[in-house]
Amino acid sequence: MHVIDWIIIVVYLIGLIGLSRYLSRRQFDVEDYYLGGRRLSWWAVGLSTMATQLSAVSFVSAPAFVALKPGGGLIWLGYEFAVPLAVLFLMIFFLPVYHRTRVMSIYEYLEKRFDAGTRTLVSLVFQISRAMATGVTIFAVSIVISATVGIPLWMTILITGVVTLIYDAWGGMRAVIYSDVIQMIILMVGIVLCGLEAYDLVGGWDQVVQSLSPERFQTIDWAGHGFGDGRDFGFWPLVIGGFFLYASYYGCDQSQMQRELSVAHVDDGRRSLMFNGLVRFPIVVGYCFMGLFIGAFALHSREFAAMIPSEHVDYMVPLFVVHYLPAGVTGFILMAILAAAMSSLDSALNSLSAATMSDLYQRYINPRASQREYLLWSKITTVMWGVICVGFAFVVGHISGTVIEVINKVGSLFYGPILATFVLGMLTRTTNGTGAKVGLVAGVGVNFVLWAGFPGVSWLWWNAIGCVVALGVG
């Protein structure tokens, strides 16, 4: 890498810390820290949500899935068809309830509807699973950057973790939102620059089509059902399973819904969700076609193909960036990858801190804390979760398959049953706290059985099956 590339990255990281310091001047209580005083713009919240979802894992792993993963291709786009359906469901049923109850942690609603035990159980499931997923994300991005750029893995993890921790702990939700807006813009520019360069190197669209197998261009597999046919990414598991996954992720995950609570009115939250539901699709299309172009170039260039380890196809994009883009552009794209990783980490840390403080500290440990004390402990808790997530990134070990599959697969064990718990609370009046808790445990248990004993069932179906089981038992 050229010295100008390192200068670009360092200036960007310093700028993030400076921005968070500036935004921290308007913090007076925990509502400012966790919800931006409930005065944030809907468009900024929408871009921030996209920045977290379309993260470094997507920038690195989705193109690799489309271009090189066996069984991969544009079929991944079918996953995106579920997003507008899930968003519409949440706009109608979930968002008005959250805004009406004025909760800070969405799990607080479960105590209002059921009991404290249900709130605590679901919050703990979120905290454990989100911390683990965040550690995996940090590790996955860091190992790819480390292997392609040549800096030690521990240094990459620390840079990503420490810088994010500083600006997140300082700036709170405002820093999360506005840094994500910047990072989303950088990410979109990065997709365009990387895609255009690969397209030019491969020699145009005709060469792309001739280089790749026709299966790479298939967007819908109508026949694949995901029950023992070995076709995890058929249309029906992608759309039906994806609906349950996205409804739970956007509606029942503190790291996502906390943003929608930081706007002034429920209509602003609806605008933010709809904006995300509609605009993210063309961006994902950009990711996927960038993958096709780089994958086609790999088939044209033996030198580039030899660089990509067959067991780590996620290295494809960073290797292309480092070896085939000009100085300055390389630094910008690597900055985009770091920015995307940080956009996932910052929201995770802020939401983990919010859930811990609201559902544990304020509820059980010190319910009479002053706002000043609560704000201090909120920042301390953010630092604590940052240390835990970075620590987990150091011990998580190597990951098989493309990272984007692994993260979605682990999340699918919990998403459906957690969604069912909130549905039982909002759309029924007969379910009590005991039923909700038993249903949650039953749904997660069935999903673990499917994972361990029925490998023929697509992991996408776990989201729907776990939800249906939890609803039935609850």
Q: Where are the alpha helices (DSSP H) in 265-370?
A: 266-300, 302-307, 316-324, 329-356
Question: Is residue 402 over pLDDT 70?
Answer: no
Share of the chain above pLDDT 90, in %: 53
Residue 389: enclosing H or E segment and its boundaries? Answer: helix 371-395
Share of the chain above pLDDT 70, in %: 97
150-164, 183-197, 422-436 — most confident range: 422-436
Lowest-pLDDT choice from 48-57, 117-126, 370-379: 48-57
pLDDT bucket at 17, cuts 50 / 70 / 90: confident
Across the range 353-360, mean pLDDT stands at 96
Q: Which residue has the higher pLDDT, 450 or 25?
A: 450
**Res 398: pLDDT:** 52
pLDDT at 54: 76
Instruction: Please determine, for residue 353, whether its predicted confidence score (pLDDT) is greater than 90.
Output: yes
pLDDT at 450: 94
User: What pLDDT is recorded for position 400?
Assistant: 47
pLDDT tier at 336 (50, 70, 90 boundaries)?
confident
Strands (E), 27-165: none
End-to-end CA distance of the chain: 56
Which long-range contacts (C-beta less than 8 Å, at least 24 apart) are formed by 443-446?
A: 443/416, 443/417, 443/467, 443/469, 443/470, 443/473, 444/125, 444/413, 444/414, 444/417
- According to the model, what pLDDT value does residue 367 have? 92
**Across 9-23, 227-241, 247-261, 398-412, least confident range:** 398-412
pLDDT higher than 50, residue 266: yes
pLDDT over threshold 50, residue 84? yes
**Interval 145-151 mean pLDDT:** 80
- Average pLDDT (375-385) is 95
Q: How far is CA 213 from the centre of its chain?
A: 30
Burial 8-31 (b: 16+ CB within 10 A, else e): bbeebbeebbebbeebbeebeebb
Over residues 117-134, mean pLDDT: 92
Judge whether 118 and 411 are in contact, CB under 8 Å.
no
What is the average pLDDT across 418-442?
95
List the single range of 10-14, 53-57, 364-368, 470-474 with lowest mean pLDDT: 53-57
pLDDT of residue 115: 96
pLDDT of residue 78: 83
pLDDT at 364: 94
Predicted confidence at residue 91, as pLDDT, reads 96
Does residue 403 carry a pLDDT above 60?
A: no
pLDDT value at residue 133: 83
Cβ atoms within 10 Å, residue 62: 27
Question: How far is the C-alpha of 156 from the C-alpha of 243, rounded, in Å?
Answer: 35
Most confident of 48-62, 159-173, 256-270, 272-286: 256-270
What residues have CB less than 8 Å from 68, skipping those under 6 apart?
Answer: 295, 298, 308, 313, 316
401 pLDDT above the threshold of 70: no
> How many angstroms separate the CA atoms of 103 and 109, rounded?
7
State the pLDDT confidence band at 404, using cuts at 50, 70 and 90: low
Give me the amino acid identity at 56: A
Superfamily of domain 3-398: Sodium/glucose cotransporter (1.20.1730.10)
